[in-house]
Chain A
Amino acid sequence: MPLTPDDRRQLYRFMCLSRAVEDAAWALAGQGRLVGRLYTSHGQEAIPVGAAYALRPDDVIAPMYRDMGMHLVRGVAPVEVFAQYMGKRGSSNAGKDSGLHIGDMARGIVGMISVLPDSLPVAVGVALAFKLRREPRVALTSFGEGAASTGAFHEAVNMAAVMKVPVVLVCENNGWALSTPPEREFATAAIVDRAPAYGIPGVQVDGNDVEAVHAAVAEAAARARAGGGPTLIECLTMRMRGHSIIDPADYVPRAQLDAWAARDPLAGQRERLAAAGLWDDAREAALQAELRAEVDAAVHAAEAMEDPLPGDVHTGVFAA
């Protein structure tokens, strides 16, 4: 199904919302107003947005810690994001965990943990259940190129391939795994080179092109839904900030940042929309004003929420 003009504008809007939320979060973290450490998707917003937008509402995502856009597309409101970042009592993790570890099966979101990439085998299990129940649903999980060095990656992808479960595997290759470049994580030229070794289709896309990511995920999801099993999608992008807010990332060459700055995914989509006559300065000004207001209101609403109470520490270890 080709993207309608409205879809194409929505993709742009979600990327802009993601950027606005993360810019605000960055500022709040710098002021010590967030709980825990902040990791953002600056520069790679096209991947979570494009990927999540290609799914159906009853599909399930198991995102990684930079996937702000996936949460937003699934309907997580900015106020929920800030409440989570502030560890508020009414947030997804209620202050028990932090970061973008939001989980909500009602909206098909598997909450991640820090240990990499532990959501990957879990996503395979979600997909296995869909297959066993013959439901036309898919699971999508995302992970960094560094996380693909783990045994968990290999076991999960191999099992997914053997069982032909409906899972979409999205690698966000952003050039760095903390301070480690890809050539010290793997000896092949690309992550996607592994796909044939697992016996599954693989495709590499420009991770800064939201429509290309969307197309690749839509195709993989359609194949999975039709019983065709997993697909490995490698999205090439660049981590434009430090690994986390406390990482100055002085190991990243200036030239690499400059080259990728010229390929900003938001600017790229805006220019494409403008060229197609779907966007102009007036729309842009209105959108930015709207997002600023939405994010400001979300920050204020989240800050007004109640903090956890000491006794909350005991609750929830077991389900009733």
Chain B
Amino acid sequence: MSTGSAMRTLTYHEAVREALWQAMEADPAVFLMGEDIAAYGGVYKVTAGFVDRFGADRVIDTPIAENAIIGAATGAALVGMRPIAEIQFADFIACGLDPLVNMTSTIHYRWGQPVPLVVRAPAGATWASAGPFHSQSPEAWFAQIPGLKVVMPATPADAKGLLTAAIRDPNPVIVLEQKYLYRRLSGPVPEGEHVVPLGRAAVARPGRDATVVAWGSMAFKALEAARMLADGDGIDVEVVDLRTIVPWDRDAVLASVARTGRAVVVYEAHRTAGFGAEVAATIAEDGFADLDAPVVRLAGLDTPIPAHPVLEAAYLPDEHAIADALRRLVAY
């Protein structure tokens, strides 16, 4: 849903910036709050230059206080503002989890008041030794909380379009930006207004032999695996990028599995009770008749995310592990 505008190539990081910038330009109710986001521009420099354009009233440096950041953003949203809270690393949302779990997420259900609030956070492993407290992928924490929406863009265009949709949504939306992709991934992004509706998956690559369902950095890795298999093995893989975790696009996933008959669900969060378990269970329940092989999960291990590169590599699924899983699945 883009209004007739030219495409340019942007990095994922530039695309996030553009969504924020355009939202700030378009709606005076939108404002940013977070740690070190004003003059410093945030630890990943996503908001560099924003305070010069929009002023310190709309680009607010907060004390180190995640609970108060999320709680206060909720309060501002109740009286007509459109707050966008940046949490410096997704891992630290844990310090502000209570308002999300108990307050923000239940307000509309309990008394009918919308809470249009965005929490942005760089999430996921970096493949660069960020260790246990700067690598987590906490989407499943939030997926357990009715009333919160969760998005995890995997492309620059979606980074812009999903964030724009999140800002306009009348609900609290957690946007888990993939710090691994910020500067690694470039792609075409519409210049003007660009909205990707929440809740719709994308077929990132069509294929006949098997479906990979992935999100965030793992969608990026799954595409690499699909290319490897197409070139080296003659296996034609379809990659479904979930894009939105809550609400998630069951129909798109089931339709893909109906075409291919085989599914691997890939996620970098811990395997047990990760969101991929929900996807796999749904395929097994509602797509059983279409399956030619058991649904496979490939995920991070049930351990903290270790720092040393040898251990981190052992923790994380990568394109080779995804390709191996697909080879086994196709041979099943």
**Interface, chain A (partner B; CB < 8 A):** 35-36, 87, 93, 95-99, 113-116, 146-147, 149-152, 177-180, 184-186, 251, 307-314, 317
Contacts and interface: CB of A to CB of B under 8 A. Distances in A.
Contact of B133 (A93, A115, A150, A313): A115
Nearest to A310: B314
B35 interface: yes
Nearest to B43: A178
A95 B308 contact: yes
Interface hub of B40, B61, B306, B311 (most chain A Cβ within 10 A): B311
B63 A149 contact: yes
A99 B129 CA distance: 11
B284 interface: no
B85 to A, nearest CB: 15
Nearest to B60: A184
Contacts of B94: 115
A116 B134 CA distance: 13
B17 to A, nearest CB: 18
Given A178-B40, A311-B314, A186 B63 contact: yes
Interface of B: 35-36, 39-40, 43, 61, 63-68, 91-92, 94-95, 129-134, 301-304, 306-311, 313-315
A110 B315 CA distance: 26
A307 B314 CA distance: 14
Contacts of B64: 116, 146-147, 149-150, 177, 180, 185
Nearest to A112: B133
A35 B129 contact: yes
A276 B304 CA distance: 52
Contacts of B68: 151
B308 A178 contact: no
A191 to B, nearest CB: 12
A149 B303 contact: no
Given A146-B63, A179-B40, A87 B314 contact: no
Is the contact region of chain B dominated by helix, strand, or loop, or is it mixed? loop
B63 A113 contact: no
A184 B95 CA distance: 20
Contacts of B67: 150-151
Contacts of A35: 129, 307-309
B63 A114 contact: no
Contacts of B309: 35, 87
Given A113-B132, A179-B39, A184 B91 contact: no
Q: Closest 9 A-B residue pairs measured CB to CB?
A: A95-B308, A149-B63, A179-B40, A114-B133, A87-B308, A98-B307, A310-B314, A313-B314, A96-B306
B206 to A, nearest CB: 35
In this complex, which of A35, A113, A312 has the most chain B Cβ atoms within 10 angstroms of its Cβ?
A35
Nearest to A178: B36
B311 A95 contact: yes
Contact of A313 (B61, B95, B311): B311
Contacts of A146: 63-64
B91 A114 contact: yes
Nearest to B63: A149
A152 B303 CA distance: 25
A96 B307 contact: yes
Q: Which of B66, B304, B310 has the most CB of A within 10 A?
A: B310
Contacts of B92: 115
Contacts of B40: 178-180, 251
Nearest to A113: B133
Contacts of A185: 63-64
26 contacts: A35-B307, A35-B308, A36-B129, A36-B130, A36-B131, A87-B311, A95-B306, A95-B307, A95-B308, A95-B310, A96-B306, A98-B308, A113-B132, A114-B131, A151-B65, A179-B36, A179-B40, A180-B40, A180-B61, A307-B308, A307-B310, A308-B310, A309-B310, A310-B313, A314-B303, A317-B304
